[in-house]
Amino acid sequence: MRSRRTVGKGVVKVDNRAVPVDPTNAAQAGRWDGAEGEDWALNHQGYERLLSVFDRTLLEAGAVRPNDRCLDVGCGTGPTTRALARRAVNGSAVGLDLSGPMLQVARETARRAAIRNVEFVRGDAQVYPFEPGSFDVAVSRMGCMFFGDPATAFANVGRAMRPGGRVAFVAWQAWAANRWLVEIDTALGDDPPDSEADAASGYTPGPFSLADPAICAELLQRAGFIDIAVEGLSIPLDFGSVDVAQAFLETWIGDDLGDDSRARAKAALHRLVIDNASPDGVLLESATWLMTGRRPGRGAADQHR
């Protein structure tokens, strides 16, 4: 992986602007506003295709209605935010992220699609000054695993929800349960992620920080949500056609590999792609948790239904 640079303590430079960041999130913010965010922005079509299978699940779990005001936490390049805006046709959708490169793609894509009830904001969900009680729905598609202090982030989002407001978050289960990642890492000769190996030592921000469903439920409960549920999902990820999948997965090959190692990695990925090709594209199984809950009370819209 390329190096990431954090600017200052508690402040990250995003598009030449200082954005308040909780000190526990400084390292993650430096990554997503740096090389990692640039990589996602550059290859956003592949990543959006890969993860778009969760958008319908989130919209249905959040019971998004036409007049709702929606929040997308860790919106990245904005596909889920756009889906929220299309569903909440008379309402609005706000996408929040720290990544300048990814937000640039999000804004441009929404502009080209002529989606006008959407807004993208730079910020850290742990400390962002949301207006209390201002959202009907909050969702997060793989964006809630990277908080340095997830309890603070969940509580801050909770305060932004109206009475009766709903949340629906999706996070990865353990690395070993995600066949798609295990097989890709094996093809690339990568070891299991450090956060998996160090799970016994306590919480570590990263893709698998919420792999324990008990932690997911506890975070929602501590944030003041009720009717909490944590449901396991097994949804195949679509990598596209054989050629598209091969090209996308080759972007995962490290820049530091020599020619021979790079050739072996490409060959291993090609075998993986061919072995998992289907009439519907190259599909690999994933394992996630769907976390849902609601704020106590009933919103104005609910009272008049």
pLDDT(274) > 80: yes
Residue 155 within a domain? yes
Mean pLDDT of 161-187: 97
> What dihedral angle (degrees, nearest 10) is formed by the CA atoms of 162, 127, 204, 9?
170
d(CA 35, CA 37): 5
Considering only residues 25 and 166, tell me which one the structure prediction assigns the higher pLDDT. 166
Residue 32 within a domain? yes
Q: Tens of pLDDT along 45-54?
A: 999 999 999 9
Residue 204 — very low, low, confident or very high, per pLDDT cuts 50/70/90? confident
Mean pLDDT of 92-101: 97
Q: Tens of pLDDT along 176-188?
A: 999 999 999 999 9
The domain containing residue 36 runs over which residues? 11-170+293-303
- Listed as own residue / partner, the contacts of 32-35 with beta carbons closer than 8 Å and 24 or more positions apart are 32/97, 32/98, 32/99, 32/102, 32/146, 33/98, 33/99, 33/100, 33/101, 34/4, 34/5, 35/1, 35/2, 35/3, 35/4
Per-residue model confidence (pLDDT) at position 299 = 61
| Percent above pLDDT 90 for the chain | 82
d(CA 237, CA 60): 19
Residue 247 within a domain? no
Residue 110 within a domain? yes
How many angstroms separate the first and last alpha carbons of the chain? 52
Q: Residue 92's domain is classified under what CATH number?
A: 3.40.50.150
pLDDT(72) > 60: yes
Q: Tens of pLDDT along 34-43?
A: 999 999 999 9
Please state the pTM of the whole predicted model: 0.89
Residue 6 — very low, low, confident or very high, per pLDDT cuts 50/70/90? very low
Nearest in space to 286 (alpha carbons), one of 244, 232, 215, 212: 232
For 243, phi and psi rounded to 5 degrees? -65, -40
Q: Tens of pLDDT along 116-150?
A: 999 999 999 999 999 999 999 999 999 999 999 99
Amino acid at 157: V
d(CA 225, CA 295): 5
Query: Taking the CA of residue 81 as centre, how many other CA atoms within 13 Å lie in the half-sphere pointing to its CB?
Result: 31
Residue 1 within a domain? no
Per-residue model confidence (pLDDT) at position 197 = 45
Q: Tens of pLDDT along 187-202?
A: 999 888 765 544 444 6
How many structural domains are present in the chain? 1
Residue 203 zone, left/alpha/beta (φ > 0; ψ -120 to 50; rest): beta
Beta-bridge partners for 120: 95
d(CA 148, CA 155): 13
Residue 69 within a domain? yes
Residue 227 within a domain? no
Considering only residues 13 and 211, tell me which one the structure prediction assigns the higher pLDDT. 211
Residue 27 within a domain? yes
